[in-house]
Amino acid sequence: MIPFNRPPRTGNEDQYVLDAMRSNKISGDGQYGQKCQAWFESHLDCPKTLLTPSCTQALEMAALLIDIQLGDEVIMPSYTFVSTANAFVLRGAKIVFVDIHPDTMNMDASLIEAAITPRTKAIVPVHYAGVGCDMKAINSIAQRHNLFVIEDAAQGMMARYEDRYLGTLGHIAAFSFHETKNVTSGGEGGLLILNDPRFIPRAEIIREKGTNRNLFFRGMVDKYTWVDAGSSYLPSELQAAYLWGQLAQAEAITRDRLITWDIYYKGLAELAAQGCVTLPNIPPECQHNAHMFYLKCKSLEERAALLAHFKKQDILAVFHYVPLHSAPAGERFSRFHGVDRYTTQESERLIRLPLWYGMERNISGMVIEQIKRFYLDRR
Ligand SMILES: *Cc1c(COP(=O)(O)O)cnc(C)c1O
């Protein structure tokens, strides 16, 4: 069977996880946690990062940090993972969806301004497949209307927009280290990125159950106490140690994934030229990270047939997302501003191909062959 994903593994994780296990500090913010955060702060050139147990929880922290109140509105694409919306729904926000651009599957920045109301508090661009959203346009709209920009960069580690890394373009951003992402902290994990230093003191308090424990450890207060609303947003030191085993290889992981991505792209170029499939489009200002390789079939029916063909050949390919506005919870918590011209239509055509770090070249070759055979048989 050809799986859809294999969690990345560099071989360095074991020694660090064992080392963490044998230390007498295995809760959060130990040596490995500090090392990972320092790595990200220097790599991203940003004032503060905080490891979290997941990207979902980093997004929840972002919603707390910008003080989302009941009835506030947050603009985002409907074509995204549920956590992008849930983080704000949990604080009482109304989600306002705008359509995507079919070329990138990212939110269409030209539709944002018309969706803004006096209740709008934030824009949440999702960098789908590690391809940057139109951040120049989004940031300029946000500035004009005094809105926060929270990047859902769950898929965006190591990818760039112009000369900046994704995750450094909004006020706050979130990465995911889930096992399906390019880099993992042992299955689950995330990172909160604070590009605006105003958020740092409160972020540290929210993450430590609403206490000033962080100041206490730095010797800045003589006892720690409950100072604000908060929760527990620290990953264990074992997760940080696992992640530390991957960070030194982050460039190599990205390079390797990009090679596989290019093999798919070149291998399917002829089918695309014949109009059988649509391949991803990478805007010139974006350097992506090969988080995913997708193609688009002509229709929902054709996609189902291709998936069935893959299944017969023991190849696991998947699709996502059911647009959030059309899901049961979407009716309760959201509205779609404007016309759904592309979100539903494009989501029904998309299929993700197997892709992982260290994927053998003959496997990507087999997948390409099966796609070609499928379209040959359909003629
Ligand atoms: C993976 C993902 C998330 C959630 O990440 P977790 O670390 O699993 O919480 C959120 N948003 C997007 C766009 C994702 O791809």
Please give the Cα distance from 142 to 170 (Å, whole number): 10
Separation CA 87–CA 134 (nearest Å)? 23
Residue 19 predicted with pLDDT over 90: yes
- Cβ-contact 177, 191 below 8 angstroms: yes
Ligand 1: distance of its center to the CA of 108 in Å?
Answer: 20
| Mean predicted confidence (pLDDT) in 211-225 | 88
User: Cα separation of 326 and 137, whole Å?
Assistant: 27
Write out residues with Cβ below 6 Å of ligand 1. Answer: 54-56, 80-81, 83-84, 126, 152, 154-155, 176, 178, 190
- Is the dihedral angle over the CA atoms 243, 249, 252, 256 positive or is it negative? negative
Asked whether the beta carbons of 236 and 52 are under 8 A apart, the reply is no
CA 331 – CA 327 distance, rounded (Å): 7
Rounded mean pLDDT of the chain? 97
Rg (CA), the chain: 21
Fold classification of 250-377 (topology level): Aspartate Aminotransferase, domain 1 (3.90.1150)
Could you please state the CATH topology (level 3) that the domain comprising 13-247 is classified under: Aspartate Aminotransferase; domain 2 (3.40.640)
In b/e form, how buried is each residue of 110-127, taking b as 16+ CB within 10 angstroms?
ebbeebbeeebbbbbbbb
Residues 85 and 111: their CA atoms lie apart, in Å, by 18
CA gap 8, 16 in Å, rounded = 16
Q: Among 59, 155, 176, which is best to mutate for testing ligand 1, by the most ligand atoms less than 8 A from CB?
A: 176
pLDDT range class, residue 218, cuts 50, 70, 90: confident
C-beta separation of 93 from 74 below 8 A: yes
Q: Residue 75 pairs with which residues in a beta bridge?
A: 96, 123
Token reading at 376: 């040959």
Long-range contacts (CB closer than 8 Å, 24 or more residues apart) made by 197-205: 197/47, 197/48, 199/48, 199/65, 199/171, 199/172, 200/47, 200/48, 202/65, 202/228, 203/48, 203/50, 203/61, 203/65, 204/50, 205/230
236, 11 contact by CB (below 8 A):
no
Distance of CA 176 from the midpoint of ligand 1 (Å)? 6
pLDDT over threshold 90, residue 217: no
Residue nearest to atom 8 of ligand 1 (CA): 178
pLDDT digits (tens, 9 = 90+) for 250-267: 999 999 999 999 999 999
What is the 377 CA–ligand 1 centroid distance (Å)?
37
pLDDT, tens only, 24-73: 999 999 999 999 999 999 999 999 999 999 999 999 999 999 999 999 99
| Local structure of 108: helix, strand or coil | coil
Residue 231 CA to ligand 1 centre (angstroms): 20
Distance (Å) from CA 126 to ligand 1 centroid: 10
pLDDT digits (tens, 9 = 90+) for 260-290: 999 999 999 999 999 999 999 999 999 999 9
Global pTM? 0.97
**Ligand 1: distance of its center to the CA of 54 in Å?**
8
Tell me where in the chain the CATH 3.90.1150.10 domain(s) lie.
250-377
Give bridge partners of residue 122 from the DSSP assignment: 74, 148
Question: Pairing mode, if any, of strands 73-77 and 120-123?
Answer: parallel
Interatomic CA distance for residues 73 and 96, integer angstroms: 7
DSSP string for residues in 32-52:
HHHHHHHHHHHHHT-SEEEEE
pLDDT exceeds 90 at position 294: yes
Q: Which ligand 1 atom sits nearest the alpha carbon of residue 54?
A: 7
Angstrom distance (rounded) from CA 134 to CA 126: 10
- The pLDDT tens digits of the residues spanning 159-168 come to 999 999 999 9
For CATH 3.40.640.10, list the domain ranges present in the chain. 13-247
